[in-house]
Amino acid sequence: MKYTVENWDPEYGAPSTPELEDASENVEVGIELPPERWQPVLPGEDPLDDLLFVDGVRRVDASLWIEQPPDFPGFALAATYAAGAVRCNGRATLESADIGRGLFTASAAEDIPSDVGVYEVKATKGTTPEELWLGIQQRMAALEARVAREPGPAEVVVVDGPLSHHRDIPNAVGYIKTQKVQYLPLELRSVMTALLPGFRTPLFLTTTSWSRYSWYLRLANHSGPAGGLVRCEVDGDIDRVQAIRLADRVSASLPRYASERHKDPRAPQNLYPIGGLERELRHRLGDRELAVRALRRSSARDAA
């Protein structure tokens, strides 16, 4: 039996799900090269000198039941989330960061003032845990988009995750390090899995609710088919030639920020600037136990 051991820490899941959702029918692969000529591409552009990395973190502080007699209590999540931006231009500098707190629920509710801050009501579409988590994710993404606009311009803005909330930011690039969807048709997937470090696939165009150019990039030496493999995406409304040049410059730049296993459990996909930003933002979230005690004190005051 032949097998490889994945470097990615299993506590974080896997860099690629075993059964990828097939979205290849929504993809146009002949953007840069015709399908019969697809092959790994070595970027022919110089690396970028000024990049802005944007990321966010979120945490559920507590699950709450909101009284609404005579009906059954409504379910809610009290959450804290943060977003920030780090500029890398010879040194890494935290350019902007902000924190938000929310009470995520579809039930009638009021803001909760607490000793750690106000949990403002954020209405969600439904009350299932998945719908509440989606609400938190959407608010965090909106905060990411805001902090990404606060610093001055950069050659490229690298957003950790899909580009959807950042499409109007000039030269924004979505950076997807966990693969859950298969965009390439079967006959072209071998090009992706055969990528050597520093090589990318040709561009392809994906159209769902919006259009984006995408490509796969192998960041570093890897173990397993998904090791070191990431997908990048840019807005599909930009000029095709501009998108190809941007893909080359980004692909020439990102491998220098690839993390190593002894420093990051999600190496090499979790880039060093993003990993450092995540640690700083989690510190700014504060202690969860303090938040829980603050929510309980606020509940006791309201009940008195």
pLDDT in tens, 185-229: 999 999 999 999 999 999 999 988 889 999 999 998 876 777 899
Q: Which residues of 61-81 are buried (b: 16+ CB within 10 A; e: fewer)?
A: bbebeeeeeeeeebbbbbbbb
CB contact at 8 A, 171 and 51: no
Domain extents in the chain: 7-48+155-270
What pLDDT is attached to residue 68?
A: 86
CB contact at 8 A, 87 and 52: yes
Give the least confident one: 1-10, 62-71, 137-146.
1-10
pLDDT band at 5; cut points 50, 70, 90: low
130-170 pLDDT tens trace: 999 999 999 999 999 999 999 989 999 999 999 987 788 88
Q: Rounded to an integer, what distance in angstroms lies between the CA atom of residue 259 and that of residue 275?
A: 9
Question: Which 8-state DSSP code applies to residue 219?
Answer: -
More confident residue, 133 or 20: 133
What pLDDT is attached to residue 1?
A: 36
Query: Prior bond to 35 cis, omega within 30?
Result: no
